[in-house]
Amino acid sequence: MNIVLCDSAAQATRLSATLIYREVAARPLVVLGLATGGTMDPLYQELVSLHRACPIRWSDMRCFNLDEYVGLAVDHPMSYGYFMRHKVFDPLGVREVQAHLLRGDAPDPQEECRRYEDAIAAAGGIDLQLLGIGENGHIGFNEPGSSLDSRTRIVHLNPDTLTANRRFFPPGVCQPESAITLGIQTILDCRQIVMLAIGEKKASAVAAMAEGPLSAMCPASALQMHPATTVVLDTSAAQRLRLKDRYRRAGPADLHSA
C-alpha cells in the first residue's frame, strides 16, 4: 500500500483525478472501475477540467460502476447510474456501450450480480479501480462484517451508512436500505487501485485500514493484501496515522508533481 499525503483536499483531489487521466491517456483500452459518493463529485469535476484543458481519447475505454441502490433504475435521479451519466459520461463523451452499470431495478437482483461478475470477466478484469472509504471502513458498500472473499452481491446498509448518505436524498424521496456492490475479492482482483480520502471524519477509518489489523470489521483493511494500491489523503484524513513521517519520505515525487 502506497500512501501519499497531500497538503489540502484540493491537492489530493487533483492528484487522484490526474492518476485516472494519465491512465486513460496512456492506455486508451483501459478498463476502469468507478466509484460515486460525496468524495468523488469534486474528483470527477477535476477530471472533466483536465480533459477540457487537454482532451484525450475516451471512446475506447470501458468502465464498471462500483455499486448501486436496490430498487433504483439507472435513470432515477438518485441512482449512481444517473450521477455518472450527468457528471462524468456525458462531459467526457463516454458512450452507453462503454459504461457498465448495475441495474438496481433488475427483476432478479441475484442474477444481476452474476451478470455483472460475468461482464467484468469478459472485459478481461478491471485495470484500475477508484475507491473512497466510508467512516466505518466500508469500501463500495461492503459494510463491516463483510467476507473478505465476497463477490458482487446484495447488501443491507448499516444505519451509520444510511445516515451519512441521507443528505443526498431530498425530503420526500425514499432512501433505499439495500444495495448491490462489488465484493471485496472482486475489488482485490483489480490490477491497480486508487483510493481518495478527504476530511477528519475519515481519519479513524483510514488509520484502521492502513495500520490496523486485517479484519472484516474494517473491510478496507483488505487492501493491505493488494500489491498495487495508492491511497491519497489530505492532512485531515491522515491525522490519525502513526507513521506519517515515513509516508512523507516514501511518497513518489512524480505523484506529487501532478
The answer to whether 219 and 142 are in contact (CB under 8 A) is yes
Domains of the chain and CATH, by start: 2-256 (3.40.50.1360)
pLDDT single digits (tens) 14-48:
999 999 999 999 999 999 999 998 999 999 999 99
For residue 20 the three cell numbers come to 485516472
Q: Which of 46, 67, 68, 112 is catalytic?
A: 67
Q: How far apart are CA 141 and CA 30, in angstroms?
A: 24
Residues 6+ apart with CB under 8 A from 136: 143, 144, 158, 160, 161, 205
Task: Give per-10-residue mean pLDDT for the chain (258 aa).
Answer: 95 97 97 95 98 96 97 93 96 95 96 98 98 97 96 94 87 89 98 98 98 97 97 97 85 51
Annotation says 112 is catalytic: no
Annotation says 117 is catalytic: no
How far is Cα of residue 178 from the mean position of the Cα atoms in its chain? Answer: 18
pLDDT single digits (tens) 43-84:
999 999 999 999 999 999 999 999 999 999 999 999 999 999
Give this prediction's pTM.
Answer: 0.94
Q: How far apart are CA 158 and CA 121, in angstroms?
A: 29
Q: Which of 68, 138, 142, 165 is catalytic?
A: 138
